């Protein structure tokens, strides 16, 4: 292997190592950021969440899952 090719490989390996270290630092920063989040109280959630709309969405998702299950059962037959 030529000397230039070895240097290119070393540069590539160094670049990968540097990139992985950057990702690791990003993960640590994100963990620190998210660990400082505070939970909402039930009162705060009640102000933000539209309970009626949430119930409607849950009903729609249940209906969708039921239709998928029925389609899968029909497919098996």
Gap between the Cα atoms of 76 and 70, Å rounded? 10
> How much is the pLDDT for 74?
79
Given a contact cutoff of 8 angstroms between Cβ atoms, the answer to whether 54 and 45 are in contact is: no
> How much is the pLDDT for 62?
94
> How much is the pLDDT for 21?
85
Q: Which residues of the chain have pLDDT under 50?
A: none
For the chain, the domains span: 1-37, 39-77
> How much is the pLDDT for 35?
65
Single pTM value for the model: 0.40
């Amino acid at each position: 292997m030529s000397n230039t090719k070895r240097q290119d490989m070393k540069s590539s390996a160094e670049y990968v190592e540097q990139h992985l270290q950057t990702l690791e630092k990003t993960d640590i920063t994100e963990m620190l950021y998210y660990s400082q989040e505070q939970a909402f109280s039930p009162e705060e959630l009640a102000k933000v969440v539209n309970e009626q709309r949430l119930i409607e969405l849950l009903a729609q998702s249940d209906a969708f899952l039921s239709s998928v299950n029925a389609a899968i059962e029909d497919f098996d037959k």
